Amino acid sequence: MTTSVHYAIVGSGNVGTALARLFARAGVPVGIANTRGPESLSPLTDSLGDTVRALPLPEALASDVIFMAIPFAAIQELGSNLPDWTGKIVVDTTNAHFSSGSEEVLQGRLSTAYAAEYLPGAEVVKAFNQLPANTLAAELEPGIGRRVIFVASDSEKASERIAALVDELGLAAVQLGRIDEGGRLIQVPNALVLRNLVERPLH
């Protein structure tokens, strides 16, 4: 195996675990890392099979698509791990609304715009944040349809790439356009948050 993986999840809390379950269910290889080291992830990765691999944080950050599944307050620390994030897509799954003091930190900015300041050069995508983690990871009954995931980015190319991944994971992507437009709708507590929508098959 090479020293990096195509996709990596940084964070092993509720959201990171939910994402790992989605990747495992779809059979899409992914790495997962946290600040405690790969050994702490063994119970999770052992339960999910070979497609989900525990990685040291530096190896996860060598990936070109990184899911930021960490508390909002930890964004600055994560960003400090790399001086330049150019060439990477970072999927921001955080929700600042639940972080103490976030209003003072943001000062009216969107949380993803704030995150981008600490990820210089990265193409940042807002996605996988509008649903509770247990709902995100829940498997739908066959025939019901595909759960909708909203995707927003100032980079059309990055948005399309993550939308394609959403499809590969067995979900349905709805692209909302720019962060400051459609992305605003999936920042808690705005209009599309907690909307558990399903794309039903056409008959």
Q: What is the pLDDT of residue 100?
A: 81
With a cut of 50, list the residues of the chain below it in pLDDT.
Answer: 1-5
Asked whether 154 and 177 are in contact (CB, 8 A), the reply is no
CA distances from 172 to 54, 110, 118, 175 (A): 27, 25, 29, 10
Asked whether 125 and 148 are in contact (CB, 8 A), the reply is no
Q: What is the pLDDT of residue 66?
A: 98
Handedness of CA 133, 134, 140, 144 (dihedral sign): negative
Q: Which two tokens stand for residue 169?
A: 């994971």
Asked whether 173 and 198 are in contact (CB, 8 A), the reply is no
The number of CA neighbours under 13 Å toward the Cβ of 196 is: 10
Q: What is the pLDDT of residue 74?
A: 95
**Assigned fold of 7-199:** Rossmann fold (3.40.50)
Q: Which two tokens stand for residue 45?
A: 């990765």
Asked whether 7 and 29 are in contact (CB, 8 A), the reply is yes
Q: What is the pLDDT of residue 108?
A: 84
DSSP 8-class letter at 29: -
Q: What is the pLDDT of residue 203?
A: 66
Domain range list for the chain: 7-199
